[in-house]
Amino acid sequence: MIHFERDEFDERRARLLDEMANRKLDAMLLFSQESMYWLTGYDSFGFCFFQCLVLKSDGEMQLLTRSADLRQARHTSILEAIVIWRDRGNADPVIELRNLLGDMGLLGARIGVEWLTHGLTGQAGLGVNERLGSFAALKDASDLVPMLRAVKSEAEIAYVREAALLADEAFEEALPLIVPGADEAEILAAMQGHVLKRGGDYPANPFIVGSGRDALLCRYKSGRRRLDASDQLTLEWAGVKAQYHAALMRTVILGEPTDRHLELHAAAREALSAVEAVMRPEHSFGDVFDAHAAVMEEHELVRHRLSACGYSLGARYAPSWMDMPMFHVGNQAVIQPNMTLFAHMIIMDSDTGTAMTLGRTYLTTETEPEPLSRLSLDLTVVR
């Protein structure tokens, strides 16, 4: 299944070729699965093995991949030229790539490379550098496609809106299950199951679910527990449609919230409002982080906050739905209209064992950002 019209892919390729011309690149070696999906529709987790999509400055594209992904590429993408490297004892796909580049007339060319991606392992990257370094002039172009992908088309935004609806519904589906004695597994199954049942996809990383002292964790881990009558439950999850993500984050309180819970929630909500005020064109991603950090400092929470407060979201693959650019100090990337950005206010007070999170996904506009979730920002308390 191809999720976009051919005109959409043609427009994306034209944008990429223009940027390649600006950087005087004769070709690009795309190793990121996200780049391949964005440019051609190719949808696979085969990036765990060596593969590369080559784009020349004249628009020619060829995919080098394994036999297991031949039909995957044919069924999900607009690609016509698909070259297979064979699994065997002495297989060297980088040599196959060099031969392909030679056939495409790229000897001595100036070639941009996506080095910064999970689709290119360290070992494979060393091979690319060693075997292609004397073949062509390799230039780091890891940021090129991610920055183009960060600005979404109307067709992409439509998928993000569907994903956001699934995220809201997943929480509403799980909320009645969040009671004393409930198993975290049942809550997790309800949320992920709802997304899949409604036609969504697996997320690029697991949902986060943690209660008690594990509510202070920001990553999924194996193992479940049952909720106490007085407890805290941190959830981070995403709706996913056509691989496009819309994430949310909440800490739910069972029983009476402590004074510290109320203090931290008030700070998180104030920080989120401050972030919204600068999540506008002409501001940078660093400005957004600074707005968050200023509120945290005012509330004497610097030790309990994180060093980033969100990131771009879009079509992503494992192991993470986090995309570039990120909200962290000094990031000069400029916010533009039609970005989909996840802002999370995460406060983890290990001194008192208190967790508090608040996050949602936004669509940037010419002015103020549009929240894509209908969920309330009030503290969720289950008594």
Strand pairing partners for 334?
A: 284
CB count in 10 Å sphere of residue 232: 25
Decide: 77 and 42 in contact? Cβ < 8 Å: yes
Decide: 311 and 342 in contact? Cβ < 8 Å: yes
For residues 164 and 158, give the distance between their C-alpha atoms in angstroms, rounded to a whole number.
10
Those residues with Cβ within 8 angstroms of residue 324's Cβ, 6 or more apart along the chain or in another chain = 143, 146, 147, 150, 311, 312, 333
Q: Over the chain (383 residues), what is each successive 10-residue block's mean pLDDT? A: 97 98 98 98 97 98 98 98 94 96 98 98 97 97 98 98 98 98 98 98 98 97 97 98 98 98 98 98 97 98 98 98 98 98 98 98 98 98 96
For residues 97 and 83, give the distance between their C-alpha atoms in angstroms, rounded to a whole number.
9
Token pair listed for 91 = 């297989």
pTM of the model: 0.97
Per-residue confidence (pLDDT) for residue 89, from 0 to 100:
87
Residue 239: which of 152, 360, 377 has the closest Cα?
360
SS3 of 291, please?
helix
CB count in 10 Å sphere of residue 21: 11
SS3 of 49, please?
coil
**Helix residue spans in 83-183 (DSSP H):** 93-103, 122-132, 144-150, 154-174
Per-residue confidence (pLDDT) for residue 279, from 0 to 100:
98
For residues 107 and 119, give the distance between their C-alpha atoms in angstroms, rounded to a whole number.
24
Decide: 232 and 261 in contact? Cβ < 8 Å: yes
Residue 79: which of 114, 37, 141, 32 has the closest Cα?
37
Per-residue confidence (pLDDT) for residue 185, from 0 to 100:
98
SS3 assignment for 171-185:
HHHHHHHCCCCCEHH
For residues 325 and 312, give the distance between their C-alpha atoms in angstroms, rounded to a whole number.
6
For residues 44 and 160, give the distance between their C-alpha atoms in angstroms, rounded to a whole number.
20
For residues 364 and 341, give the distance between their C-alpha atoms in angstroms, rounded to a whole number.
8
CA 210 to chain centroid, in Å, comes to 21
